[in-house]
Structure 1
Amino acid sequence: MPRTPLSTYRLQIHAGFDFRAATAMADYLRDLGITHMYSSPYLQAQAGSMHGYDVVDHHTVNQELGGREEHERLCNRLKELGLGQILDIVPNHMSISGKNKIWLDVLENGPSSRFASFFDIDWNSAEQRLRDKVMLPVLGDQYGRVLSKGELKVGRQGSAFAVQYFENSYPLEPRSTAHLLTRAATIAASDTLNFLAESFRRLPSPDSTDRLSQHARHRDKTVLRGMLDRLCSEEEGVCKAIDETLAEVNGSTDALDDLLNQQNYRLAFWRTSDQELGYRRFFDVNNLVGLRQEREHVFEETHELIFHWLQEGVLDGVRVDHPDGLRDPSQYFERLRKHAPKAYVVAEKILEPGEFLRTTWPVEGTTGYDFMNVCNALLVHPEGIAELESIYRDFTKMPTDFPQIAYEKKSAIERETLASDVNRLANLFVEICENNRDFRDFTRSEIRRAIRAVAACFGVYRTYVVAASDGPDEITDEDRQQIAEAVAEAKIRKPDIDTSLYDFMADILSLRNRGPLESEFIARFQQFTSPVMAKGIEDTAFYTYNRHVGMNEVGGNPSRNGLALADFHSYQETMQATHPITMTALSTHDTKRSDDVRARLAVLAEIPDRFRLAIRRWSRMNHSFRTGRFPDANSEYFLYQTLIGAWPITVERAQEYMTKAMREAKLETAWTAQNADFEDAMHNFIASILQHEPFITDLEAFVARINRAGRINSLSQTLIKYTAPGMPDLYQGSELWDHSLVDPDNRRPVDYDLRRWLLGEIKNLSPSEFTENLESRFEDGSPKLWTIYQALRLRNERPHAFGAEAAYVPCEVAGPRVDNVVAFTRGGEVLSLTQRFPYKTAGAWPVTTLVVPPGRWTNRLTGITVAGGRVRVGNLLDRFPVALLVREP
C-alpha cells in the first residue's frame, strides 16, 4: 500500500550524483525527518543528461546512474530506513537522440512504422515536399552547403545503413538501399545479393499504414537483413562491394542527394525549425518530440515500468511533468489513477495568480509554484515595490507596463521560435474556414495573425476544453471566461483584423461551433498556449522587466504589488478545502532564484530610497569599466540585484549566469543570435567590478545592512511551508542558506558532509541551548536547518495536525504591528507565528498581541512555554525570529 508522504527531499540524480551517491545519503534524509526521497527522472535518458527529462527508453533504468543493480540497492536502502520514494515522470515528450530506438524506427519506416502513432507528427503537411516526411532541423548550415562540404556520409554497420552527420546517425529507408545493393551485386557478381536488392525494393511502401502492410514490412525487412548479414559473413567480396558502392555514393554529391531525397525524413538547417517543423515539441526544444498519451496503447507502453514500481511498492507516488503539454490532461490523470488508485500524484501545473488547480483532476495537487509565489508576494512591501517601479524606470528608461511587455514578448515568440506551431494551427483553421462559406475568404495570413493575437492574450497557460465524440463535452465557466477575455483583448490590441474572425475562433474554442476539424483545432490550440506563455513570459519577459527580479518567478506576476494578509489567509483556506496535501515548495530545479535569494531581495521593497542611492552610486563608480554602451542600463540594473541576492558570488558564476540571463532576455544577445561584443563587454564589466575594491566594499556594506532581514524572511517562509496546508518539499541543499540562481547554478554539488555535521550537532542541543548561542550560528545556516528539523519532527509526531482534516484558522492579532504578523493554527494544536517586513520592524513589537487558544503551549524552537490567552508577539519572538507552538496534552 503506497504511503502518503509527510515531507519530500528533491534530489537531482545524474552521472555526477548517481544512485550510489543517493544511497549513501539516504540515512541523512531519515535523520533530518524526511519521509520520502523525491527524485528527478531516472528512466534511460539521452547520454550525458543532467536532468533526466530527455527520456529515450521507458523500459530501462538509466545506465549512467548505475542501472538496475544500483537502483535496486537504492530502493532497498530506502526501505531499510523506512523512507518512501516519489519519482518525477515525463509523459509529454521523448528525446530523439540516436539511442531512441522507437524514434529511429519512425525515421526508417515513416508512417508505416509500428511506432508512428506514438509521436505527435503531422504526416499530412500543407507543404507537399514535407508530406509523409519528418523534417529534422539538425544541420549547421543550408543543406546544399553541408552536402557539398562532404559532412553527410552514408555508412553501414552490418546490414544496417545510415546517414552520418558528425556524431549523429539516421537510418536509411530499407527500400532505398535496393539501388545500393544492386550496384554492389554487379561489382561482386552475386546473384544472391541481386535477389536481396530486388526483395528490398518490393517491401511495402512507407505510406502503407494498414496493419497487414506494417506487419509484412517489418517482418520482411528483418528477414532480409538477416540474410544480408549471413551473406556478408560468408562472402567477403560482397562486403567489399557494398563498401565500394557506399564510397561511390559518398563521392558523388548528386548520388548522395538522390539517396537522401528517398528517406522518410528531410535533413535541414537548424533555423528552419522556427517555420516548418512538422512535429510537436516540448516548448521550442527540437530534440524533444511530443508523445500522443491520449492514445491508450501509448500510455500503457510508456508507463509499464512506472506502474510496476507503484504496484510493487518501490514508488509511493509520482510527480507528472508538464501535463499542460498533453492533449487531455484530465483524461491522462484519470487513467493514471486507475492504475495507481492510492498513489500520491502531483501535477507540475503552473498557475497564475488567482488561478487554482482544477478540483476535478484526480490528483493531490501541484508541485508548489503557486504556494511559492504566494509566499513571495506576502513578504514584499506593497508601497515599497510600487516605488521601485519609478526607480527602475528612471535608471533604465525601460517601459514598465508589464501586460504590454508580456504581450509583445509572447507575440515575438509566436512570430519567431514558435512560428511552425502557428503555421500548423493556421493550416487547420484554413480547412475549417473552407468548409464554412461565411469565413472561406479569410486568408492564411489573416488567420495566422488572429491565432497569434488570441494566444498572446491568454492570461493563463491554457484552458481544458474537450469536445468529446463519445461522451459529454468538458468545458467550465472558467474556460469560457478565459477564452472570452483573450478574444476581447485581441480585438483591442489587433483591431485591424475582422472581428468576425475573432468571434468565429471564440465560437470554436468555446464549443459553440462543432465538427471534427474544430475539435482538433481546440486540442492543438490549447497545447500551443502553454509554450507561448512559458517562452514569452518566463524565458523572456522575466529577464527584460526587472523592476524587482525576486518577483520574476515561475507562475508569478512581477508587476504584482505584494499580497495582503487577508488574501494570504484566504488562499491557505482554499487550499485546505480543495488540495490539503498539495506539494508546497520554495525552491525547485526550475526556479529562477533560490528561496534565500528571493528572501533577501524582498527587503529591497522595504528600503527603496536606499536602493535608489546605491545603484546610482554603483553605476557612477563602475562607469569606467563599460565598453562603449555595454552593458546597457537594464542589464546593469539586473546585475546589481543579482549581486545583492546571490552575494557572495564568484566572477565565474556571475558571468555564466548573466550570459544565460541576457540571452533569455533577447535584447542585446540571444541563444540563436549571440552578440559577442555585448557578451564580452558584460564579462569584462563583471570581472572588473568584482575586483574593484571601492565597489566591493560598498556592495558588502549594503548586503550586510539587509542580510539579517533577508534571513528572517527566509525563516518565515520556511516555517510557513512546513505548517501551512500541503506537503512540504525541500530542494537539495536548501536546508542551509543557499544563494543559488537558475540552472545550472542551482545544480551545483551539495556539501552533504557539512549538512550531516551541522545536523548531528543541533540534534544534541535543547531549544534553549540552541537559541543561547544563536548569533554565533546565524550565518552558517543552522537557524534554517533548526527550523526545518523541528518542523519535520513535529509533522512526524502529529501528522493529524497537518492532514486533510486539520483546520487552518488565522489567529487574532492586535496592535500597531498587526500587518507584520502572520499567524495561524493547524488542527487546533499547532500554532505557526512568522513575521514580514522585518527591516521596518527592526525587532520592535510595541503592544502587538496574539491570541493563543486555550491550553499550555511550548515553542519547539526556543523551549519557552506560554498559557493560552492574549500574548505579546515580542515575547514569542525575542529569542528566535519565528515561533512554532505546540499545545501540550
Structure 2
Amino acid sequence: MTTVPADPVATYRVQLTPDFAFAEVAGILDHLVDLGISHLYLSPILAAMPGSTHGYDWCPPARVAPELGGVDGYRLLRAHAQARGIGIVLDIVPNHIGVFDARHNHWWADVLRNGADSPYAEYFDLDLDFGDGALCLPWLPADGDLSQLRLTDGELWFGDRYLPTADDTVSSGRSAREVLDRQRYRLVPFDSRQIGYRRFLAVNELAALRQEIPRVYDATHAWLRELADDDLFDGVRVDHLDGLIDPIGYCRRLREDIGDRLLYVEKGLSVGERLDPELPVDGTTGYDQLRLIEGAFTAPSGAIELSEVYQRITGMSGDGDELNARAAELRHVTLIDLFSDRVRRTTALFATSAPDVPVHKVQAAVTTLISRAPVARPGSYPSLTPAILARIARIRREAPSMDDGLDVLARAFTDPDTAPEAVARLGEAVSAVTAKAIEDIGYNRTGRLVSANELGCTPLVPSVDRDEFHGALATRARNWPRALTALSTHDTKRSEDVRARIALISQIPQRWTVLVLTLWRIAPPPHAPTAYYLLQNLIGVWPDTGTPGPAVRERFHAYARKSMREAGVVSSWTAVNDDAETDVIEWTDRLLTGTPADLICDFVEIIARPARDESVSRKVLSLAAPGVGDVYQGTQWWDDSLTDPDNRRPVDYGQSLDHPKAAMVATTLAVRRRYPECFGPGGVYEAVVCRGTSGIHVVAFTRGDADGQPRVLVAGVRLAHTFRPGQAREDAVIPLPPGVWRDAVTGDDHYGDVTADVVFGDRPAVILELL
C-alpha cells in the first residue's frame, strides 16, 4: 500500500451523482495516480433531496447517500484510494439543509406541524414575528394566488410542494383553504418581505441551521465523527463558512472533532483582506489565489481601453469608480428586496443595546454599513475590526445625520460585549448580500471584461501587478502553505479555459472594438448591455476552428437564459420575460452563421492559440505556487464549461494524458513529489524578475527548502498574444540562480542568464530542477 502524503500534492474535485457514484470514482483512481493527484476531493456525500444533482440540499438524518453507494460503498472507495496512496477530502454543508420536500426532512416537517413547540424549532433560525406567531413561508407568487392549493388523499399540497399538517386539522368536509388556515404556518408572496426562516442567500429551498447551538452541531456532525473514529477521511472542506453565526467557534469545535486532518473553508476575501489567523484551519478553498492568477494574465492597459468601448456600446461606464458606486447601490437594493428579514432582525438587536436612539436611525446605519462593508464578513474575525471602524468613520464623514446610529454600531464593534448577536447577524447579512448582489446579480450585469467577473475577483480592478502577485504568494508560503488554489470549481462562473480565452480580449482591445462595432452594425442586438456581456461568453466557448455545433448552441441557450434571469434586467427568476429572452437568444444565433460567424471565426483564430498557451501556463503556476493546487474534474484537458449546471456535465476520462494540459499537470505534480521540503510547510518562495524589453511577459519564481536553497524554478508565459516563439522571446532574459538547472520535460540543462526562447522554445511553461 502506498502512503498518502502528509502534505497534499494536489486535490482532484469530483462531482458525485447517482450516475457517477463511489464505484465510478474508484474507476478513475488509476488515472489520478498517473496525474500525480494525492487527494480525492468529493462533493457532499450525504443523502439529499430526491433528484439533487449537487448534494448541497442534504436532509436528515445525516447519512451517506444510498444513491451514491451508501456507507459500504464509501468504505470500499476509501480502501481503493488508500491502496493507491490517495487521501479523501470531504465537502460538508453545515450552513443549511434542504427543505423543498418536507417528506424527506423530518426536522422541517415537524417544525411546520408544530411551529415553535417543535423540538426541532431551535435547529432553524426562525422569525415568528409575522402572522400572529405563525411561520411565514414565501412560496406564493407575487399576487398571492392560492389556486394550486389542494387536498389529495388527506394530504395538503401547494403545487408540487407537500405541506405537513398538524394533528386533527384535516377532516372530512374541510376545504384545502380551511385546512391551511388551521396550520402553524402561513403561505405568503415571495416578495412580501415576511420571511419566517433564514435562508441560504435567497434560496427558499435551503434553510439555515443554527450551528452555534451544541445540540444542532451534534445532530449534524455525528456522522462525521463516526467516519473520523474509523479513519475514513483525510480532510474536510466547509461550505459557506461566512453563513454561520460564529465561524471561528464552529471551526474550533470542528477541529476538535477531526484532529489534525486537513481543514479548508470556503470563504470570500475582499481585495487586500487576509484570512484571520484565529481560524484553526489550513486555508481557504482558493478563490484568493484565483484572483491573483487571473489578474496576472489580464493586460491592465487593455482593460482601460475596454472601458471606452464598453461605455460606447452600452452607455454605462466600466471604470472602477462607477462600478464601485453601482455595487454599493446594488447591495442596498438587494438588501431591501431580498433580505429585509436580515435588516429587521439586525436592527432590532442593535436597537436593544441603545434604547435611547431612534430605531429608524439605527436601521439607516445598519443598511448603509451592510451595503458598504469593505470586507466579506465583518464582526466575526477580530483582525477585520479596524477596517470596519474605519468604514464607519468614513460613512460618518459623508453622512453626519447618521451619527447617532453609527455610534451604536461603532460601540458594538469596539466592545464585543455590547451587542455580540447583533454584530454576528450584521456580518452574516453582509456575506449573504455580497454573494447575491455582486456575485449573482452584479456579475451578470457588468460586462467590461467578464473574465474578471469571477469568484474571488473584482471587475473593479481586473489586473494585479508584479509586486502584489509575488508579495501575496510569499506571504502565503509563510502563513498558509497548505491552502488550496482554485482555477475552476463547481461554483465558478466560467471554466479556467473559457476565462483564459476571454482575458485575451484585453490584449487586443482595438481588434475587439472593430469586431463589436461591425457586429452591432450588421446584426443590431435587442439589448446592448446583455448582448455585449453574452458575446464575450460566446467567444469563450467558440471552437478553435469552425462554428459552434448543436450541443454548444443548446448549452449556450441555457446559459443565456440563466444569466439574464440572474441579472434581472431583461428578465428575472420571479418575472420571466420569455419574449425578451427569446429575442436575445435569437440574436446570439444570428452570430453563428454568415458574415457574423466569419468575423467571429477570424477573431477566435487570432486568440485561440495564445489562450491555450496561457491556460497551460496558468495551470502550471497554480500547481507549483504556494499552497495546494485543486484540479476540478475534467480540467486536466480543455474544458469549455460555463456556470452550473453546465460545469457538472459528465467527464470523458478516456482522453489522453499526452494532452498539452494534462501532460504539464503530470509533470508539475511529479516535480512537487520529488521536492516535498520545498512545496510544503517550511518551503521558501522567491520571485524571479525577468529582464529585457519582453521580460514582462514571463512570470517566474523558485521554490526552495527551509534553508532557502532554491531547488525548483517555475516559469510561465503571460500576455502571450505578442510573445510568440521568435524575436519577442529572445528579448526576455531569465536570471537563473547559481547552479545548473535541468528541464523536467526535455532534460536540457541551463545556467546563468538565459533567454526565454532558449528555455521555453515554443512551450508556454517550464519547470527546471537544480542538479
TM-score past 0.5 threshold: yes
Q: What secondary structure sits across from 2:611 in the alignment?
A: helix
Task: Determine the C-alpha separation between the residues in 2 that align with 1:791 and 1:80.
Answer: 23
SS of equivalent to 1:248: coil
Residue 420 of structure 1, aligned match among 327, 335, 341: 341
Q: Give the Cα separation in 1 of the matches to 2:502 and 2:157.
A: 50
Which of 228, 246, 249 pairs up with 1:310?
228
CA displacement 1:176-214 (0-9 Å, x = unmatched):
44xx6xxxxxxxxxxxxxxxxxxxxxxxxxxxxxxxxxx
Q: Secondary structure at the match of 1:834?
A: strand
- What is the deviation of 1:541? 1.4
- Which range moves more in the overlay, 419-428 or 537-546? 419-428
Equivalents in 2 of 1:688, 1:809: separation in Å? 50
Kept in 1, the 8 Å contact 2:740–2:770? The answer is yes
Contact 1:41 / 1:52 at 8 angstroms: preserved in 2?
Answer: yes
Conservation of the 8 A alpha-carbon contact between 2:307 and 2:317: no
Aligned counterparts, 1:640-659, within 5 A: 640-648=535-543, 649=548, 650-659=552-561
Equivalent residue in structure 1 for 2:740, among 844, 856, 863: 856
Superposed displacement of residue 443, structure 1: 4.6
Q: Helix, strand or coil for the counterpart of 1:318?
A: strand
Q: Map 1:584-623 onto structure 2 (within 5 A).
A: 584-623=485-524
Q: Which of these residues, 488, 513, 525, is aligned with residue 394 of structure 2?
A: 488
1:407 to 313, 317, 328: 328
Contact 2:701–2:713 (CA<8 Å) still a contact in 1? yes
Write the distance in 1 (CA, Å) between the matches of 2:622 and 2:407: 44
Between the aligned partners of 1:323 and 1:499, the Cα distance in structure 2 is 32
Within the candidate set 93, 98, 102, 1:95 is matched to 98
Report the counterpart of residue 202 of structure 1 in structure 2.
none
Tell whether 2:139 aligns with 1:138: yes
**Which residue identity lines up with residue 538 of structure 2 in the other structure?**
L
User: Which of 667, 692, 695 is residue 818 of structure 1 equivalent to?
Assistant: 695
Q: Is the 8 A contact 2:613 2:763 kept in 1?
A: no
Aligned match of 2:531 in 636, 640, 658?
636
Q: Which amino acid aligns with 2:703?
A: R
* 1:541 matched to 2:541: no
Between 422-431 and 874-883, the greater mean CA deviation after superposition: 422-431
8 Å CA contact 2:14, 2:633 repeated in 1: yes
Partner Cα separation in structure 2 for residue 814 and residue 881 of structure 1: 18
Determine if contact 2:87/2:234 at 8 Å carries over to the other structure.
yes
SS of the residue aligned with 1:88? strand
User: Any conservation in 2 of the 1:142–1:268 contact (CA below 8 Å)?
Assistant: no
- Cα offset, 1:882, TM superposition: 1.1
1:805-884 alignment, distance < 5 Å: 805-827=682-704, 828-843=710-725, 844-866=728-750, 868-884=751-767
Pairing of 1:60-79 with structure 2 (within 5 A): 60-79=63-82
Equivalent position of 1:793 in the other structure: 670
Give distance in 1, aligned partners of 2:142 and 2:619: 50
Quote the Cα distance in structure 2 between the aligned partners of 1:544 and 1:269: 26
Structure 2 Cα separation of the partners of residues 814 and 140 of structure 1: 63
Equivalent residue for 2:85, pick from 68, 82, 85: 82
In 1, Cα distance between equivalents of 2:462 and 2:497: 20
What do residues 562-593 of structure 1 show as CA deviations (whole Å, max 9, x unaligned)?
A: 11111111010110111011001100011111
Partner SS, residue 52 of structure 2:
coil
User: 2:161 & 2:563 partners in 1: Cα distance?
Assistant: 30
Cα 1:331–1:746 shift into 2, 3 Å = same
Q: Partners of 2:241 and 2:426 in 1: how far apart?
A: 15
In 1, the alpha carbon distance for the partners of 2:500 and 2:662 equals 16
1:459 to 350, 368, 374: 374
Question: Which has the larger share of helix?
Answer: 1
Structure 2: how far apart are the matches of 1:163 and 1:583?
47
Gaps of 5+ in 1: 157-161, 181-245, 466-473, 763-781
The yes-or-no answer on 1:57 pairing with 2:57 is no
Residue identity matched to 1:482 = I
1:150 & 1:536 partners in 2: Cα distance? 31
Name which of 407, 417, 420 aligns with 1:503.
407
* 1:264 maps to 2:265: no
Change (3 A) 1:862 1:543: same
1:812, CA displacement in angstroms? 4.2
Matches within 5 A, 1:440-459: 442-444=358-360, 446-459=361-374
CA contact (8 A) 1:654 1:686 kept: no
SS at match of 1:707: helix
2:186 maps to 1:248: no
Task: Spell out, residue by residue over 1:720-739, the C-alpha distance to the aligned partner (whole angstroms, 9 max, x if none).
Answer: 11111001100000111112
Against the structure 1 CA distance between its residues 150 and 583, is the aligned structure 2 distance closer, same or farther, given a 3 Å change threshold? closer
Distance 1:717 1:150 in 2: 52
Is contact 1:491-1:499 (8 Å) kept? no
Unaligned residue ranges in structure 2 (runs of 5+): 705-709
Matched AA of 1:359: P
1:397 maps to which residue?
315
Q: What do the CA deviations read for 1:192-245 (whole angstroms, capped 9, x no partner)?
A: xxxxxxxxxxxxxxxxxxxxxxxxxxxxxxxxxxxxxxxxxxxxxxxxxxxxxx
TM (norm. structure 1) is: 0.81
Instruction: Give runs of ≥4 in structure 1 deviating > 6 Å.
Output: none
Alignment of 1:570-585 (within 5 A): 570-585=471-486
> 1 CA distance for matches of 2:397 and 2:556?
43
Separation (CA, whole Å) in 1 of partners of 2:396 and 2:96: 31
Matches within 5 A, 1:695-706: 695-706=596-607
Q: Which moved more, 1:800-809 or 1:424-433?
A: 424-433
User: For residues 97 and 208 of structure 2, what CA distance do their matches in structure 1 show?
Assistant: 7
- Partner SS, residue 391 of structure 1: helix
Q: Deviations over 1:81-122 (max 9, x none)?
A: 222111110011111132011121222222222222211112
What's the C-alpha RMSD, in Å, of the aligned pairs? Answer: 2.1
Change (3 A) 1:19 1:497: farther
Q: What is the CA–CA distance in structure 2 between the aligned matches of 1:870 and 1:130, rounded to whole Å?
A: 78
Residues 128-178 of structure 1, C-alpha deviation per residue, up to 9 Å, x if partnerless? x342x32222234766x52xx47232755xxxxx5333433333323x44x
Alpha carbons of 1:794 and 1:150: their partners in 2 closer, same or farther (altered >3 Å)?
closer
Q: CA deviation at 1:490?
A: 7.0
1:113 to 92, 111, 118: 118
In structure 1, the partner of 2:385 is 479
Shift of residue 787 of structure 1? 0.7
Counterpart of 2:127 (choices 122, 126, 148) is 122
**2: CA distance between counterparts of 1:814 and 1:616?**
38
**C-alpha displacement of 1:316:** 0.2
Deviation at 1:50, TM superposition (A): 0.9
Identity fraction in percent: 33
Where does residue 26 of structure 2 map in the other structure?
23
Show CA shifts across 1:262-303 (max 9, x none).
Answer: 32222333333xx11122111101121111111122112211
DSSP-derived class of the 1:428 partner: helix
Amino acid in the other structure paired with 1:418: F
Output the CA distance in 2 between the equivalents of 1:655 and 1:812: 44
Greater gyration radius: 1
Deviation string for 1:23-55 (max 9, x for gaps)? 222221122211111011010111111111111
**1:15-414 matched pairs, under 5 angstroms:** 15-96=18-99, 97-98=101-102, 99-123=104-128, 125=129, 127=130, 129-131=131-133, 133-140=134-141, 145-146=145-146, 149=147, 151-153=149-151, 155-156=153-154, 162-174=155-167, 176-177=168-169, 246-250=171-175, 256-257=177-178, 259-272=179-192, 275-400=193-318, 401-414=322-335
Counterpart of 1:463, as a letter, is P
Whether contact under 8 Å (1:715, 1:787) holds in the other structure is: yes
Q: 1-side partners of 2:400 and 2:574: how far apart? A: 31
